[in-house]
Structure 1
Amino acid sequence: MRHWLCCNIRSGDDDDRHEVEHSKAQGNKIDGKQKSSKPADQPEPDISPPTIDVPELSFEDLKEKTDNFGSSSLIGEGSYGRVYHATMDDGRQAAIKKFDASENEPNDEFLKQVSLVSRLKHENLVEMLGYYVEGNYRILAYEFATMGSLHDVLHGRKGVQGAQPGPVLDWMQRVKIAIEAAKGIEYLHEKVQPSIIHRDIRSSNVLLFEDFKAKIADFNLLNQAPDMAARLHSTRVLGTFGYHAPE
């Protein structure tokens, strides 16, 4: 009995399959002609370059303003490259970040990050002034922190042997710096869509301007996961040891 049921079910399936195939064959005909199964042409994806809201700078002009990226204009360096001081054509003081040549990321991907950063506008976020990307050269210009970083004030200029701390901050100055830094972080984390997680908050990334105005700097867009769930579940260690959360 069991064998008969199996055969009966299989036979029914065969009949159903033939009926479905026959229906499909009839449905694929229009006015006696066989319909083409070839999908319609799909529009090509938009590959136009991203919009960047700051001017593209001239490499020759940058060389001239930084003494050919010489030591006399050098004001800092890190794992990413070096930073030079320059005066822009409009008279603004600028920090010129010249990144080390790297083949890890194509220029079009880097330009996407530049496009995003160029649109970030907040009084407590260091403003991008311009860019230059060509071949292995990647250069970004930011507004210059006239009073250095919070680290410079608290401990002396970073990387300079024997550097002395700046003036002792009174309580009102400390509170002002803390509140303004928090506003910059809030803007990145909560107001920008998609949100940007800084992941490396420390005193050297809080830059100070006239009247001890604090602005957040040096957030790395390359560390951003494509969605919030991926960010929250990431186990990659980022940031600076000593400033990590205990967990």
Structure 2
Amino acid sequence: MGQLFQLDTFNSTVERLSGNLKIIPHKKKWTTTIILSSVLGSAAATVLTAAVAYCYFNSKYRGWKKELDQLAKSMQLLPGVPIQFKFNDIRRATKNFHETTKLGRGGFGAVYRCRLHGPKRGEALEVAVKKFTRDDNRRYEDFLAEVSVINRLRHKNIVPLVGWSYNQGGPLLIYEYMPNSSLDQHLFGRSGGKQQQPSQINRWDTRYNMVKDIATGLHYVHHEYEPMVLHRDIKANNIMIDSAFQGRLGDFGLACVVAEGKKSYTDIGAPGTLGFRSPEYIQSGKATTKSDIFAFGVLILEIITGEVAVDAVRPHLTDWVWHLHMEGRLLDAIDPLLTTEFQASDAKRLLLLGLACSNPNPSDRPTMVEAVQIITKSAPPPHVPLEKPRFVWPPEGLSLNSDYSTELSGLGSSLTVGIEMTAGHGSSENGGNSLQHRPITPMAGPSQELFSIYHTAE
């Protein structure tokens, strides 16, 4: 309308000018033709733009609709079909995903807290909504991978899945809300931690029970549920704490199901968290129950010491605790913030278990069955050598069909050097740790993460 008004004004002006100047008729007709052409051209351009926009958004909508239909079919095939929540309800409950409702952010997306209407009339659910925000090529895949694993699991020490939703290419998972947040916020006082019960985590029985809760949940996915599930990202901020202050395994974004008849899962790049990935997992890319147990051992040491696994001013946590063990001062590793009395034998039991589980060599680590027996005191504490064992790769007598064998084609390595990482046998210049190499068949070389964790410079 603005264009038409301007053109009409321009036309009137031209007519007035033409009257004053006595413009000959054929020029007036020429001017009118130009004006009409401009108007018709603008209208045509507007119609064309609207048509293109309509086709684009219609195509986009049809794509989203198709994706939603496919997703709904996939969800219906899952046992115990999760509840499908309406996206508009979630958007209203989270105030359009406002920052004030955000609980945190992970590698796959952000998590928001809200209250939704349950399937039963009058039922209200406190939930945590995980919104997948990675690029379009992966978030749909990440969503299906996580829901296909977590929907199978039913255990008191695993955060339960409540339902799912979808909106214009963005899938969402809805979990039961854990009112006491994650373990790391209580242990390390991270920003955003609620810290409503500062004395609760500083009680010895709370920390002992937390170790037992995590072990019980991990035992379930390793030995009780079929097919076997590997978590692959055991760490403090993936342990959620419920209203009774019990620990629950959460964030199964990296979890994988091990195929029947197999004992490992191979992935390019060995995804996980710095300081919690076992050395053989880094080298081979093969995740096993023993790589989960390694991370569990590091987590035990974090819980008992109150120290983070990787710190800029000291060695890796396992090296530090092992050094105290070698000097006969193992109990000096206990967190000084603990406010309740405890028996030294119980503290030593868990510290030794943490060291045994984080042994550099997978064959020397206990299973989750043995770990649970040690925690429940139905088995004695593990024997742990005073000096940290060498990490030997590949293991002696390695067979081609071993769970820890390396798939050379997948790793793309042409190195001809293996590695033994020696702890406690080096010179004082490197803090008692050294790296030794020996010629072997072609195999992957040591990564920077392995060097930084197991070769400590003081």
Is TM > 0.5 for Structure 1 vs Structure 2?
yes
Give the superposition deviation at 1:133. 3.2
Q: Distance in 1 between matches of 2:219 and 2:128?
A: 24
CA displacement 1:1-48 (0-9 Å, x = unmatched) = xxxxxxxxxxxxxxxxxxxxxxxxxxxxxxxxxxxxxxxxxxxxxxx6
Q: Distance in 1 between matches of 2:216 and 2:275?
A: 23
Which of these residues, 191, 197, 205, is aligned with residue 172 of structure 1? 205
Which of these residues, 102, 108, 117, is aligned with residue 150 of structure 2? 117
Which of these residues, 205, 212, 217, is aligned with residue 184 of structure 1? 217
More displaced stretch, 112-121 vs 82-91 = 112-121
Aligned to 1:59: 87
Name the Cα RMSD after superposition: 2.9
Give the 3-state SS of the residue equivalent to 1:212 in structure 2: coil
User: Within 5 Å, which residues of 2 pair with 1:33-48?
Assistant: none
CA contact (8 A) 1:157 1:164 kept: no
Give the 3-state SS of the residue equivalent to 2:241 in structure 1: strand
Aligned to 2:180: 147
Give the 3-state SS of the residue equivalent to 2:166 in structure 1: strand
Letter in 1 for 2:245: F
CA contact (8 A) 2:94 2:112 kept: yes
Higher RCO structure (Cα 8 Å, ≥6 apart) = 1
Give the superposition deviation at 1:119. 2.9
Percent same amino acid at aligned positions? Answer: 28
Letter in 1 for 2:174: A
Matched, 1:245 2:278: yes
Distance 1:237 1:171, change over 3 A: same
CA displacement 1:167-186 (0-9 Å, x = unmatched) = 34211111111111111111
Give the 3-state SS of the residue equivalent to 1:210 in structure 2: coil
Q: Distance in 2 between matches of 1:108 and 1:246?
A: 28
Give the 3-state SS of the residue equivalent to 2:248 in structure 1: strand
Matched, 1:217 2:253: no
Q: Distance in 1 between matches of 2:217 and 2:131?
A: 24
CA contact (8 A) 2:150 2:252 kept: no
Give the 3-state SS of the residue equivalent to 1:145 in structure 2: coil
Aligned to 2:100: 72
Give the 3-state SS of the residue equivalent to 2:270 in structure 1: coil
CA displacement 1:94-148 (0-9 Å, x = unmatched) = 1110001533358588447524422311100000111013541110011111111
CA displacement 1:188-219 (0-9 Å, x = unmatched) = 12222211100111111111112311110012
Which of these residues, 82, 101, 114, is aligned with residue 86 of structure 1? 114
CA contact (8 A) 1:102 1:136 kept: no
Give the 3-state SS of the residue equivalent to 1:194 in structure 2: coil
Give the 3-state SS of the residue equivalent to 2:100 in structure 1: coil
| Larger CA Rg, structure 1 vs 2 | 2
Unaligned runs of 5+ in 2: 1-72, 118-122, 281-458
Aligned to 1:200: 233
Q: TM-score, normalised by structure 2?
A: 0.39
Distance 1:77 1:165, change over 3 A: farther
Give the superposition deviation at 1:64. 0.8
Distance 1:199 1:228, change over 3 A: farther
Give the superposition deviation at 1:232. 5.3
More displaced stretch, 126-135 vs 230-239 = 230-239
Give the superposition deviation at 1:242. 1.1
Unaligned runs of 5+ in 1: 1-47
Give the 3-state SS of the residue equivalent to 1:86 in structure 2: strand
CA contact (8 A) 1:129 1:143 kept: yes
Q: Distance in 1 between matches of 2:256 and 2:204?
A: 34
CA contact (8 A) 1:53 1:119 kept: no
Give the superposition deviation at 1:221. 5.3
More displaced stretch, 192-201 vs 110-119 = 110-119
Number of residue pairs the alignment of both structures matches: 198
Q: Distance in 2 between matches of 1:226 and 1:245?
A: 21
Give the 3-state SS of the residue equivalent to 2:173 in structure 1: strand
CA contact (8 A) 1:157 1:165 kept: no
Distance 1:245 1:107, change over 3 A: closer
Give the 3-state SS of the residue equivalent to 1:72 in structure 2: helix
Structure with a larger share of its residues in helix: 2
CA displacement 1:34-75 (0-9 Å, x = unmatched) = xxxxxxxxxxxxxx6423522101000110110011112111
Letter in 1 for 2:113: H
